Structure 1
Amino acid sequence: MIDVQRLRVLRTVAEHGSFNQAAAALRLTPSAVSQHVAALERSLGTRVVERSTRGVTLTRAGHIMVGAAESVAAELTHARREIDRLGTGRTQFTVATFTSGGRLLLPGALSRLTSAHPGTVVHVREAEPEEGLLLVRQGAVDAALTYHFDGPLPGRPGRRTAVEWTALMADPLHMVLPEAHPLADRQTLDIAELAEEPWVLGCLKTEAYLRRYAERAGFTPEVRGTTTDYFFACSLVAAGLGVSLIPSIALASALPGLRVVPVSPPAPARHIGVAVPRGRGHHPSVATLLRALQDGAAAAG
């Protein structure tokens, strides 16, 4: 029989990549953490981690067991919530979201949720995509509104089995220029055409995309403004500090003094969706939220 505490220890080791850091998070000694992992390996008859001077990495068996650990933790959390509901008659429901997507899609969806399930107490917490997915895997939230760029969902390889992903909408990125810019009247723009321009960055993930594209196009962007708020980034562009790359839904209330120009195909886009714990998609509250978010995304698109 697999010990749940050993699974918890392995999951923490995987999150931190180190016995020492996992020990600090769990308030155990590194020796105790090592013993828990070793005992788990003996019970399974195979190694779950590879130890080296650079830290600890999971084996394929380790990835499988971490997925199981996340599922077990999530189920225990949900069971606790159900027991609390039996005592209070009220259901606690928590949604994680990134800012711009939450502003566009969540208000209407949460109104439908609370109308359909009046005994539900809703909590919202802001979280970046990777954090939102982790919170779903851990059972800390019931759903996460999140996104990813082209490619796989955020997270480490082998760690997607604990969540179900429902795609909602594509959110293309656009060039944002001061309205007096010489290229402001263009129908489309290639990012490389702005290689000599100073840039204002609206979030770290957009920055990462821009730098990858710039490297392929043979230039290094000169960054004059860095912020995690798209509205602030737009205000800096309007002030003439530079140009920026902004997702469509963050431009719903664009400032005066700006021109928004689509990026030439293939245009970069964020792929917005909602993640829920695997097997929870048919839960009444979760199903209501999913339908509401899908309807909101369809209306926004």
Structure 2
Amino acid sequence: MFDLRRSDVVLLQAVADHGSLHAVERDGRMTQSSASRRLVKLERRLRTLLVTRGATGTEPTEAGHAVLHVGRRLLAAIDFAIATTHHGSDAASRLPVVEFAVGTEWAYGLDRHLAGRFPDVVFDIVPDDCHRVWQRFERYAADAALGWETARRPMARRGGVLVRTVAEEPQQIALPLGHPLAAQEILDLRDLARTEWVAVVGGDSGDDQGWALSRLTPVPPVSFTVRSQGAALDLVRRGYGIALVSPSTLGGGAGPGVVLRPLRQKFVRRLRLAVDPLAIPEPLAEDLCAWLRRLYALRTAAPGAVPAGTHRERTPHSGDHCAPATGQTAPPPVLLSELRWSAADRSGGFEPEHLHLLRVIGRTGSLNQAASALLVTQPALTRRIHRLEASCGLSLVHSTARGTSLSATARRLLACTGPAEHRLDALVNHLREGDSAPVPAAGPPPARAGAGPVRSPVSARTASR
């Protein structure tokens, strides 16, 4: 696992919150020069830029935001596991929590419907503009994303994710009932060059319309500018112009006084679902996509429609551990993301690198063999374990007849943090493959992507502290 420390996350959080490193110095954690040197070292190890430095301040790059979000999730999982160490539940009784970024038009009531359809998963709905939905997913701030992809606004591209098309929706032209072109079955965009338009600004609909108008010469006149397709249809109904509309916003029809006609030039927007397979397994993702397709079909058929039996259906991939027995009430499960890490928390003696140390001890079953694998001496590793147990107040290892074994607390800690660890490793591999901007040439050049094995997070220097 990549050696990402709490101080690294604190630095990136300070840059994101304040646009400078002064906040770290004011907080008394380290000087500004030390913070700058630590950021440079982190950038060299990742072989990518994490912040941009300029005269107006410092701000995280896309890679910096991604490292920040993944680091926060990992620290939250560690703190949660330590804070709930005396909870009696095992891994099978915990519900996975999925941060689901969705377009604003889909957000209302979606969490309630998802809870009924997928009772074994907690969906934390994050509504936002379609562009920011994909931006959140690209930055690893969301485990899944649902939004429109248009010709001028493609969805974010990220390796190793599952992407499915929920629906493809050709845009149509809305005309007043008495318009001369209303008699035609199919319209050509060039025939609409001299017709007044009602423009919709903002969102994916505005992108499609802007793309359509940019292809007309001369640019057609715009009589009104509104922010919703409902307002645009009302103006079209009153004869103030024509508009480009989306069928899913019409609820099965445009209403009286308005005629819908398709365009010969296809303007298609796609409702896309992107899923991080480390958060949602592929069978569950396919079931989620199928349910969203059904929900889309019902929304386009009638406004406000929801799937029948939404609150009673269960997914075929759901386990039975959440189902209450007859006449009994099931105990509330432990939520993996109940606690969120805060940069102001100073009780973090447990670093992400210690997870690797525990995993090596559990795999070898011996402090002697673990010390050899970690390239440290056995006394140094033993002292490190004792200091770690004292700092977090937990028993992590115990001696057995066959050697050294992890305690139940340590095994639960590894189970809680496993998905967040995998996400961090996936991000580090993604950055080191050269998908982001390279580190500037100042100082020693970064190592090549294939320049040898990644060093163990627990080195001889850190193990002997």
TM-score of the superposition, structure 1-length normalised?
0.70
**One-letter amino acid of the counterpart of residue 176, structure 1:** A
Cα distance, 1:216–1:284 mapped onto 2, change above 3 Å: closer
1:168 aligned counterpart, secondary structure: strand
> Which residue number in structure 1 is paired with residue 248 of structure 2?
249
What aligned pairs does 1:59-98 form with structure 2 within 5 A after superposition? 66-76=65-75, 95-98=100-103
> Which residue number in structure 2 is paired with residue 147 of structure 1?
148
Aligned-partner Cα distance in 2 for 1:80–1:162? 27
- The answer to which structure has the higher strand fraction is 1
What aligned pairs does 1:1-301 form with structure 2 within 5 A after superposition? 1-7=3-9, 9-10=11-12, 22-23=19-20, 36-45=35-44, 48=49, 49=51, 51-53=53-55, 66-76=65-75, 95-101=100-106, 111=113, 113-117=115-119, 124-136=125-137, 142-150=143-151, 153-155=154-156, 160-161=158-159, 164-204=162-202, 205-252=204-251, 253-265=253-265, 267-282=266-281, 288-296=287-295
Structure number with greater Rg is 2
2:169 aligned counterpart, secondary structure: strand
Contact 2:48 2:63 in 1 (8 A): no
- Name the count of aligned residue pairs: 284
1:189 aligned counterpart, secondary structure: coil
1:193 aligned counterpart, secondary structure: helix
Aligned-partner Cα distance in 1 for 2:73–2:207? 31
- Tell me which moved more, 47-56 or 256-265: 47-56
Aligned-partner Cα distance in 2 for 1:164–1:76? 25
2:183 aligned counterpart, secondary structure: coil
Structure 1 alignment gaps of length 5 or more = none
Aligned-partner Cα distance in 1 for 2:54–2:228? 40
Q: 1:65-107, CA deviations, whole angstroms, 9 ceiling, x for partnerless residues?
A: 654444334455677789889699777665443255568xx86
Cα distance, 1:137–1:211 mapped onto 2, change above 3 Å: closer
Structure 2 alignment gaps of length 5 or more = 302-465
Q: CA deviation at 1:241?
A: 2.0
Cα distance, 1:3–1:231 mapped onto 2, change above 3 Å: same
Q: 1:152-180, CA deviations, whole angstroms, 9 ceiling, x for partnerless residues?
A: 7345xxx7348543221211111111111
Aligned-partner Cα distance in 1 for 2:34–2:199? 46
Aligned-partner Cα distance in 2 for 1:255–1:138? 41
Aligned-partner Cα distance in 2 for 1:54–1:187? 56
Contact 2:174 2:236 in 1 (8 A): yes
Cα distance, 1:64–1:89 mapped onto 2, change above 3 Å: closer
Contact 1:101 1:249 in 2 (8 A): no
Greater relative contact order: 1 or 2 (C-alpha under 8 angstroms, separation 6 or more)?
2
- Tell me which moved more, 246-255 or 173-182: 246-255
- Tell me which moved more, 65-74 or 228-237: 65-74
TM-score of the superposition, structure 2-length normalised?
0.49
Cα distance, 1:112–1:2 mapped onto 2, change above 3 Å: closer
- The answer to which structure has the higher helix fraction is 1
> Which residue number in structure 1 is paired with residue 443 of structure 2?
none
CA RMSD of aligned residues (A): 4.4
Q: CA deviation at 1:235?
A: 1.4
1:281 aligned counterpart, secondary structure: coil
2:19 aligned counterpart, secondary structure: helix
Cα distance, 1:215–1:152 mapped onto 2, change above 3 Å: closer
Identity level (%): 19
Contact 2:19 2:58 in 1 (8 A): no
